[in-house]
């Protein structure tokens, strides 16, 4: 196992947080508890893995029991994550206000552009809320997009449309 670069001026618990290969690499995360354990979870590009376009580094306000599996929260910009983003590739590249018990399915919330939006118990199925753009449409999603695979997907520039979902404007 390769240990990552330490995060400057942060609090990382000695509970196996940031222990996966490349996890927390180049990231800005002030507070990490029981999180960022998967390969490249909570990490950002290094010289060997920069793809096309400008590199972006993970920026997470705090992570608690979150971003556990491979590439979860990779290059994400998240206010805070609590028991969230725990599926492989979940919350990868996402821009989300905060997530609480959300985005736990495989590939859920992958490229969601939900800047400033709080997710509470939402987007928990496989690929739910993936490639979504909901910026400015609402401030919270509560108990949404948990029923079907790929529920709440939207084309770029369109708002999420979800039946039986509580969203607050």
Cα–Cα distance, 138 to 19 (Å, whole number):
35
Mean pLDDT of the chain: 75
| 152/92: higher pLDDT | 92
Contact 57, 75 (CB under 8 A): yes
How high is the pLDDT of residue 66?
93
Sequence-separated (6 or more) residues with CB below 8 Å from residue 110: 89, 90, 91, 92, 93, 94, 127, 130, 131
How high is the pLDDT of residue 100?
94
- Give yes or no for residue 6 having a pLDDT over 50: no
How high is the pLDDT of residue 56?
67
Cα–Cα distance, 30 to 154 (Å, whole number):
32
How high is the pLDDT of residue 7?
47
Q: Which range among 10-14, 97-101, 112-116, 122-126 shows the weakest confidence by mean pLDDT?
A: 10-14
* Residues 47-82: tens digit of each pLDDT: 444 444 456 678 888 999 999 999 898 888 888 999
Helix (H) or strand (E) run with residue 81 in it: strand 77-82
How high is the pLDDT of residue 102?
92
3-state secondary structure 121-133: CCCCCCCCCCCCE
Could you tell me what percent of the chain has a pLDDT over 90? 10
How high is the pLDDT of residue 167?
54
The band of 83, judged by pLDDT with boundaries at 50, 70 and 90, is very high
Q: What average pLDDT does range 3-9 have in this prediction?
A: 42
Q: Which range among 11-15, 29-33, 71-75, 123-127 shows the weakest confidence by mean pLDDT?
A: 11-15
Sequence-separated (6 or more) residues with CB below 8 Å from residue 117: 96, 97, 134, 135, 138, 139, 140, 141
């Amino acid at each position: 196992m390769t240990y990552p670069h330490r995060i400057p001026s942060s609090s990382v618990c000695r509970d196996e947080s940031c222990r996966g290969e490349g996890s927390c690499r180049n990231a800005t995360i002030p507070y990490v508890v029981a999180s960022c354990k998967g390969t490249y979870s909570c990490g950002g590009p290094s010289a060997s893995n920069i793809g096309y376009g400008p590199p972006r580094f993970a920026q997470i306000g705090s992570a608690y029991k979150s971003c556990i599996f491979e590439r979860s929260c990779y290059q994400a910009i998240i206010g805070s994550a609590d028991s969230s983003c725990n599926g492989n590739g979940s919350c990868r590249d996402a821009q989300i206000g905060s997530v609480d018990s959300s985005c736990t399915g495989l590939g859920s919330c992958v490229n969601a552009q939900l800047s400033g939006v709080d997710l509470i118990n939402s987007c928990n199925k496989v690929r739910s809320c993936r490639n979504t753009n909901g910026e400015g449409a609402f401030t919270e999603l509560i108990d949404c997009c948990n029923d079907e695979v790929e529920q709440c997907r939207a084309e770029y520039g369109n708002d999420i449309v979800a039946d039986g979902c509580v969203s607050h404007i």
